[in-house]
Chain A
Amino acid sequence: MSKTVDARGLSCPQPVLMTLDGIKSGNQSALLIIVDNEASRENVSRAVANQGWIVAGIEEEDGDYKIRAQKT
Chain B
Amino acid sequence: MKNVFATRWGIIGVGAVIGVLAALLQFFGNPANMGVCVACFVRDITGSVGLHRAGVVQYMRPEIIGFVLGSLGAALVYKEFKPRGGSAPIARFVLGAFAMIGALVFLGCPWRAMLRLAGGDGNAILGLAGLAAGIWIGTLFLKNGYSLGRAKSFPRAAGWIFPAIMAGFLVLLLVNPATEGEGKSGVLFYATAGPGAMYAPLWVSLGIGLLIGFMAQRSRFCTMGAIRDLVLFKQVHLFSGALALIAFAFIANLMLGQFNPGFENQPVAHTSHAWNALGMVLAGLAFALAGGCPGRQLFLSGEGDGDAAIFVIGMVVGAAFSHNFGLASSPAGVGPHGIAAVIIGLIVCGCIGFTMKEYRR
- Measured between beta carbons, the chain A residues less than 8 angstroms from B156 are none
| Separation of A1 and B87 alpha carbons in the complex (Å) | 32
Instruction: Knowing A37-B80, A39-B220, A63-B82, say if A9 contacts B142 (CB, 8 Å).
Output: no
Q: Which of B289-328 contact A (CB under 8 A)?
A: 291-292, 307
Across the two chains, which residue of chain A brings its CB closest to B139?
A13
Q: How far is the CA of A53 from the CA of B298 in the complex (A)?
A: 33
Asked if B291 and A16 sit within 8 Å, CB to CB, the answer is: no
**A47 in contact (CB, < 8 A):** yes
Q: How many angstroms from the CA of A26 to the CA of B292 in the assembled complex?
A: 31
Which residues of the partner chain A approach B151 to less than 8 Å between Cβ atoms?
9-11
B3 at the interface (CB under 8 A from A): yes
Beta-carbon nearest neighbor of B151 in chain A: A9
CA distance A8 to B151 in the complex (A): 8
Does B225 lie at the interface of the complex (its beta carbon under 8 Å from any beta carbon of A)?
yes
- Which residues of A lie under 8 Å from residue B152 when comparing CB positions? 9
Check A18 for interface membership: any CB of B closer than 8 A: yes
Interface: A27 (CB within 8 A): no
Whole-angstrom CA separation of A9 from B232 in the bound complex: 21
In the bound complex, CA of A72 to CA of B232 (Å)? 24
Residue of B nearest to A40 (CB): B220
- CB A38 to nearest CB in B, in angstroms, measures 5
The residue among A18, A21, A38, A42 with the most chain B CB atoms within 10 A of its own CB is: A38
When the two chains form their complex, are residues A13 and B229 in contact, meaning their CB atoms are under 8 A apart? yes
Please name the residue on chain B nearest to A11 by beta carbon.
B291
Q: How far is the CB of B141 from chain A (nearest CB, A)?
A: 12
Say how far A49's CB is from chain B's closest CB, in angstroms: 10
CB-based contact A42/B220 at 8 Å: yes
Question: From residue 4 to 25 of chain A, which have CB atoms closer than 8 A to chain B?
Answer: 8-14, 16-18, 20-21
Q: Which residues of B contact A39 (CB under 8 A)?
A: 220
- In the complex, which residues 83-139 of chain B have their Cβ closer than 8 Å to any Cβ of chain A? 84, 87
Give Cα distance in the complex from A20 to B142, angstroms. 13
Q: Does chain A have a CB within 8 A of B52?
A: no
Total contacting residues, chain A, CB less than 8 A:
22
Chain B residues with CB below 8 A from A18, complex form: 359
Q: If the complex has contacts A47-B235, A63-B82, are A42 and B3 also in contact, measured as CB distance less than 8 A?
A: yes
Given A10-B147, A42-B220, check contact A16 B359 (CB 8 Å): no
Q: Are A11 and B220 in contact, with the CB atoms below 8 A?
A: no
Kindly state the separation between the CA atoms of A43 and B361 in the bound complex, as whole angstroms.
Answer: 19
Encode contact with A along B228-247: 1 for CB under 8 Å, 0 otherwise.
11001101010000000000
In this assembly, does A46 line the interface, its C-beta being within 8 Å of a C-beta of chain B? yes
Cα A63 to Cα B307 with chains together (Å): 19
> Chain B contacts of A14 at CB under 8 A?
142, 147
The answer for the CA separation of A8 and B143 in the assembled complex, in Å, is 19
Closest to A37 in B: B82
Q: Are B361 and A21 in contact (CB under 8 A)?
A: yes
The answer to whether residues A12 and B87 also contact, given A39-B220, A63-B82 and a CB cut-off of 8 A, is: no
Contact A50 B147 (CB under 8 A): no
Q: How far is the CA of A12 from the CA of B266 in the complex (A)?
A: 35
Bound-complex Cα distance A36 to B153 (A): 10
B6 CB-CB contact with A under 8 Å: yes
Which residue numbers of B lie inside 8 Å of A, CB to CB? 3, 6, 78, 80, 82, 84, 87, 142-143, 147, 149-153, 220, 225, 228-229, 232-233, 235, 237, 291-292, 307, 359, 361
Known: A11-B292, A17-B142, A42-B3. 16 other contacts (CB 8 A): A9-B150, A10-B151, A11-B291, A11-B307, A12-B291, A13-B225, A14-B142, A16-B233, A17-B232, A17-B361, A21-B361, A38-B3, A38-B78, A39-B220, A47-B235, A63-B82
Q: Considering the complex of A and B, which 6 residue pairs feature the smallest CB-CB distances, nearest first? A: A9-B150, A11-B291, A9-B151, A39-B220, A42-B6, A38-B80
Q: List 15 A-B contacts (CB under 8 A).
A: A8-B150, A9-B84, A9-B87, A10-B150, A11-B87, A11-B292, A11-B307, A12-B225, A13-B229, A14-B147, A16-B233, A17-B142, A17-B143, A37-B80, A37-B82
